[in-house]
Amino acid sequence: MRALLDAHPNIRCGEETRVIPNLLQIVHNWESGPYHQKLLENAGVTHDVLRDAAGAFVFEVIAKHGDWAPRLCNKDPLTFEHLPFLREIFPRARFVLMIRDGRAIVHSIISRKVPVVGFDWRKTVDCLKAWNKMIEKVPRQMPYTVTRASFQMYKDCKCLGPDVCLPVRYETLILRPEGELRRITAFLGESWSDNLLYHEKFVGSEIRLHPLEFSTSQVKKALNDDALHSWRIFYSDDVLSQMDTAAPMLRTLGYNTTTSDPSYKSMSEL
């Protein structure tokens, strides 16, 4: 997604910063627990102070780790765990949540040995459970004025409303790229650009790729459906039989778990 958006003449995302989700988690930890929070407030370090300081940090990193553009964006894994806080920091921002079949994600993590906290490559079912926990994660007590029930990535996105957060299916983006990309640019308030359909032509110029990012080898290619199907012979019958209990969010998000060869052609919008 970020490589596609980087091909747009008005948008610059750039590589993963890695520090932004770390900073957001640190702020969350500072404000977790009434005792620690009271200590901070008594010292004048209120939520508003931390919000403004975190906002300044995040903005400076996003703005200065690449070339300037009329619209700046960030793609760091797990920043969506802090979506309500990000919305508070950047009230005019727009958010795009990429939803993908968890079976494909787990296959990708295990087969490429991507280091993700909570994912043990040797234990496939545990990895599926870890994905499920991540997508429906409810963090510890947080100081924002949103109920705890909404602190799940997908529900957070829906809670903010269609004008603020747009869920996008990876599978639909791959199968119907122009339609989905037009929907995304309209949501962002940007004009259409054919560059989005040929992002691979801009790799190395408008699109910078980090050689150490695990996705680099894939995103520099033209859009293709290879990754839609590669997981289908990966899981054993035993693991497939546990899919609904290990990863119930698959069904919640509309994925067919009754077969190892599902069709993605007629999936509903999220």
Active site residues: 16
248 strand-pairing partners: none
What span, in angstroms and rounded, lies between the C-alpha atoms of 104 and 127?
11
Which residues, other chains included, contact 98 with Cβ-Cβ below 8 Å and sequence gap of 6+? Answer: 1, 168, 170, 173
Cα 82 to chain centroid distance, Å, stands at 11
**Alpha-carbon dihedral sign for residues 235, 238, 241, 246:** negative
Q: Give the single-character DSSP code of 167.
A: E
Pure H helices in 112-225: 124-135, 153-160, 170-175, 177-188, 216-219
Q: Where are the beta strands (DSSP E) in the chain?
A: 11-12, 71-72, 95-99, 165-169
